[in-house]
Structure 1
Amino acid sequence: MNKAIGVIDSGVGGLTVAYELMRQLPKEQLIYLGDTARCPYGPRVNDEVRTFTWEMVDFLMKKDIKMLIVACNTATAFTLNELKSNMSIPVIGVIKPGARAAINETKTNHIGVIGTEGTIRSNAYTKALNDIHAGLQVQSLACPSFVPMVEQGMLNGEQAEAMVTRSLYSLTQQEELDTLILGCTHYPLIKHTIQHVMGRDVAIISSSEETAREASTILEFRNLLYKGHNTPFHQFYSTGQMEVFATITEEIFKEFIDHFHSVTIEKAIL
């Protein structure tokens, strides 16, 4: 089916998911919307996250997408079930794929989760992990400074490492912890710094690859994969300034992407 996959995020972090979708599903067209003007979502109250998420969804549904991927952990935590219940197209979040990948990786059954305040407050990862494996020890930690750091383009260097070291100190003291879930799609952009701080014996899990695999499976099962030969035309939209958005995109894709548009999205009527 020659319709696009829609991807939404609170900012630039979901581009890590978009990259994996483009790598694993090279024939599929993507339409990405990052709400950089109102990022971060983590400190916001649940109803505000829900409203903002529906506004992004309404924008993409007008473009006749065939699948929606909520590439924001906070939005997934607070809106995924509602979106699935009210939409006629497949909807995928990033939490369950990340939980499955972490369970496959851990040897000690001691898993750490870092995320925004909203994601950690929701306990969505702990529930997703324990639904699959009740014997896990899960240590969750909110890292509110990470998303603003990434949105400002501070991806490495001494200042970034100092901030990550301070934020993750309590987790570095957990000797049995062998797996850490990056419970925010912004965090893979500072994965190397996080890995250095946590040590090489801790597996760092990003949900991006697993989410793309789930999307591929669902599209195939529902006979929605594009089987033609046209080159996909991807579109990237941002509600805020484009400079950092373009810089981060180039960092992820290792090439210049020129299909950028700055947009204003309409208020949702819920």
Structure 2
Amino acid sequence: MEAPIGVIDSGVGGLTVVKEMLNRLPNEPIIYIGDDARCPYGPRSTQEVRQYTMEMASALSKMGIKMLVIACNTATAVALDEIREHFSFPVIGVIVPGARGAVKASETGNIAVLGTVGTINSGAYDDAIHALNPNATVYPLACPEFVPIVESGLYKSESASGIVAKALVGLAGKEFDVAILGCTHYPLVQHHIQAHLPDGVNIISSAVETVSDVEQMLLLKNSKRHSASEVAPIFYTTGKIEQFSPIVEDWLLIDQPDVRHIIL
């Protein structure tokens, strides 16, 4: 099936999911929308996040996608069910896959969850983890400082390391062996996060497990693309192309990516 897979996020964070898709599903066309103009979603109201998520999904529906990946934890937490009810194509979120990866990786059942204010307040990760392991202990921590670091392109800077260190003080004294990056922006600061967590903590990104779900859904719906030729992804941003493109180039290693502006 030649139709593309749609991927949406509040900004550039969902590129971490796209990166895994390009590695595992290189023949699948991808159309991405990042809502950078209204990022971050974490502090926004549930109503706003639902509206913005619906606008992105509707835009991609008009482009003829065969599947949608909500590569934003905040949007997944508050809008997944509504989006699934509204559209006929399969819709995959990132929270259940992330929780599944963490529960599989944890030997103690003690799991830290790093996320936006919206994701943490929703309790979606607590619910997903406890559905898989009722005896798990979850330590949720909102880290609203991380998304602006990534969106500004400062995720490799020394100042980013200091901001991450300060944010993670909230986990001091907690014992856990796995930490979930409960926001798809966070893998871009993973090296800083790892440096400021206790030795031996396994960091889980939802991207790997999410793309496993995408693969399974393609097989289930018999909708894998049959052509063996690779297709360059198309990226849309509601923000500034000149700010979005360098992050695509750096994170996905794509020279001169096809980045376009979209108004929702």
Shorter-chain TM-score: which interval? over 0.9
Q: How does 1:50-199 map to 2 (within 5 A)?
A: 50-174=50-174, 176-199=175-198
Match of 2:3 in 1: 3
Q: 1:106 and 1:257, CA in 2 relative to 1: closer, same or farther beyond 3 A?
A: farther
- The 1-side partners of 2:248 and 2:173 are apart by 34
Match of 1:203 in 2: 202
Listed one character per residue, the Cα deviations across residues 113-149 of structure 1 (whole Å, up to 9, x for unaligned) are 0111100010000000001110000000111111011
Q: Give the C-alpha shift of residue 253 in structure 1.
A: 1.3
1:224 and 2:223 are equivalent in the alignment: yes
Amino acid at match of 1:111: I
Amino acid at match of 1:84: R
Q: Give the C-alpha shift of residue 244 in structure 1.
A: 2.6
* SS of residue matched to 1:168: helix
Match of 1:241 in 2: 240
Q: Structure 1: which 4+ aligned runs deviate by more than 3 Å? A: none
For the 8 Å contact 1:249–1:257, the answer to whether it is kept is no
For the 8 Å contact 1:172–1:198, the answer to whether it is kept is no
* SS of residue matched to 1:204: strand
For the 8 Å contact 2:249–2:257, the answer to whether it is kept is no
Counting matched residue pairs gives: 264
For the 8 Å contact 2:248–2:257, the answer to whether it is kept is no
- The 2-side partners of 1:221 and 1:200 are apart by 40
- The 1-side partners of 2:190 and 2:256 are apart by 22
* SS of residue matched to 1:181: strand
Name the Cα RMSD after superposition: 1.0
**Given the two structures, how large is their TM-score scaled by the length of structure 1?**
0.95
- The 2-side partners of 1:78 and 1:257 are apart by 34
- The 2-side partners of 1:202 and 1:243 are apart by 36
- The 2-side partners of 1:257 and 1:83 are apart by 32
For the 8 Å contact 2:68–2:89, the answer to whether it is kept is yes
Which deviates more, 98-107 or 165-174? Answer: 165-174
- The 2-side partners of 1:231 and 1:177 are apart by 41
* SS of residue matched to 1:233: coil
* SS of residue matched to 2:196: helix
- The 2-side partners of 1:256 and 1:34 are apart by 19
Identity score, percent:
46
- The 2-side partners of 1:172 and 1:204 are apart by 17
- The 1-side partners of 2:132 and 2:126 are apart by 10
Match of 1:268 in 2: none
Q: Give the C-alpha shift of residue 234 in structure 1.
A: 1.6
Listed one character per residue, the Cα deviations across residues 222-262 of structure 1 (whole Å, up to 9, x for unaligned) are 10001123431321000001223112112211232421101
* SS of residue matched to 1:140: strand
- The 1-side partners of 2:26 and 2:256 are apart by 16
Q: 1:229 and 1:158, CA in 2 relative to 1: closer, same or farther beyond 3 A?
A: closer
